[in-house]
């Protein structure tokens, strides 16, 4: 299933992308794409609905972030061997974990705001894992039992804030609108192999990233198990699993985003995003 949320900011309706390409309203069945609705039991109930009986929503409506109620937006740094190399950094002996503020989450096609004082706003296409039920001390073998599905995430980053201002990475990752997520939460039954998905990103039509989740250092199963040893993962939590090479920071000379730039990105089977970058007032 491809679950989504459509409508104005703060007033999104839960929806499903039907087989005929129409967007169908799930409001009569679930209050949102969140919590119990994305548990294994909740997803079974949604799967049993005849989408032909659901009201059609306008395809012109804004698409919101594909999951609501996210308590934690956990990111994994330097998790692609080829990206670590372009960054001039060693592959870490354990996953690098940092948090992105949930206030950064926005719709996949919303404008992204370049924060005041920014000179190094950068792009990163990432595979997002959405948790469907509480995970604590889970084994790698059982890890996917706790995953609701996958989505495209754009881990927008301000590199000067991230690496030149002292302290941890969070402040360079958490600016408002720095977490476009969606368009869909694609349930795991529709993703044959999360470790073999093509990923790409373009800036103003120019290809910048063209990679695959196959080059992840630490895969989805490992990450869910690993994180659950340190903190409980709850329904709606997002794990953004790292980016392949081709980010602006790694170019010679480095290249960063400016007001008016348009970024398009996508992951095989998970949909696409398109954002215009705007200087924040």
**How does pLDDT run across 220-272, given as a tens digit for each residue?**
999 999 999 999 999 999 999 999 999 999 999 999 999 999 999 999 999 99
pLDDT at 83 over 80: no
The secondary structure of 16-82, three-state, reads EECCCCCEEECCCCCCCCCHHHHCHHHHHHHHCCCHHHCCEECCCCCECCCCCCCCCEEEEECCEHH
Strand partners for 275: 263
Q: Is residue 37 classed exposed, middle or buried when 0-12, 13-18 and 19+ CB atoms within 10 A define those classes? A: buried
- Peptide bond just before 253 cis, omega within 30 deg: yes
pLDDT at 89 over 80: no
Torsion, Cα 45 27 33 202, to 10 degrees, reads: 120
How does pLDDT run across 30-61, given as a tens digit for each residue? 999 999 999 999 999 999 999 999 999 999 99
How does pLDDT run across 190-210, given as a tens digit for each residue? 999 999 999 999 999 999 999
Pairing of strands 96-99, 73-77: antiparallel
Q: How many CB atoms lie within 10 A of CB 244?
A: 27
pLDDT at 100 over 80: yes
- Domains of the chain from N-terminus onward: 2-57 (no CATH), 73-279 (3.90.850.10)
Cβ–Cβ under 8 Å, residues 150 and 270: yes
Q: Model's pTM, two decimal places? A: 0.96
pLDDT at 135: 98
Short-list 198, 208, 227, 210, CA closest to 75: 227
How far apart CA 60 and CA 1 sit, in angstroms, is 21
Cβ–Cβ under 8 Å, residues 218 and 74: no
- For residue 14 the two structure tokens come to 């839960």
Question: Could you identify the residue written with the tokens 């330097």?
Answer: 78
Average pLDDT over residues 69-96: 86
How far apart CA 223 and CA 97 sit, in angstroms, is 10
Exposure letters 164-192 (e unless 16+ CB within 10 A, then b): eeeeebeebbbbebbbbbbbbbbbbeebe
Pairing of strands 271-279, 112-114: parallel
Q: How many CA within 13 A on the CB side of residue 73?
A: 25
Distance between first and last Cα of the chain: 39
How far apart CA 127 and CA 281 sit, in angstroms, is 30
Angle formed at CA 218 by CA 213 and CA 221, multiple of 5 degrees: 90
């Amino acid at each position: 299933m491809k679950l989504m949320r459509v409508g104005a900011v703060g007033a999104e309706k839960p929806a499903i992308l039907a087989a005929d390409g129409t967007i169908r309203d799930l409001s009569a069945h679930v209050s949102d794409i969140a919590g119990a609705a994305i548990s294994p039991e909740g997803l079974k109930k949604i799967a049993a609905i005849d989408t032909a009986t659901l009201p059609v929503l306008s395809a012109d409506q804004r698409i919101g972030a594909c999951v609501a109620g996210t308590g934690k937006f956990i990111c994994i740094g330097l998790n692609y061997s080829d990206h670590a190399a372009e960054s001039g950094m060693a592959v870490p002996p354990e996953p690098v974990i940092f948090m992105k503020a949930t206030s950064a989450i926005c719709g996949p096609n919303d404008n992204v705001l370049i924060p005041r004082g920014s000179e190094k706003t950068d792009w990163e296409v990432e595979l997002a894992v959405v948790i469907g039920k509480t995970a604590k001390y889970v084994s790698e073998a059982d890890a996917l039992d706790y995953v609701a599905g996958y989505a495209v995430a754009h881990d927008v980053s301000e590199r000067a804030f991230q690496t030149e201002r002292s302290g941890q990475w969070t402040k360079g990752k958490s600016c408002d609108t720095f977490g476009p997520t969606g368009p869909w939460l694609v349930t795991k039954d529709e993703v044959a192999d999360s470790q073999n998905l093509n990923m790409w990103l373009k800036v103003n039509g120019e290809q910048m990233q063209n990679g695959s989740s196959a080059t992840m250092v630490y895969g989805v199963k490992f990450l869910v198990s690993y994180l659950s040893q340190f903190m409980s993962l709850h329904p709606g939590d997002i794990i953004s699993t790292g980016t392949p090479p081709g980010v602006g920071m790694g170019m010679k000379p480095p290249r960063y985003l400016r007001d008016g730039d348009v970024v398009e990105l996508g992951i095989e089977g998970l949909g696409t995003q398109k954002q215009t970058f705007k200087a924040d007032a």
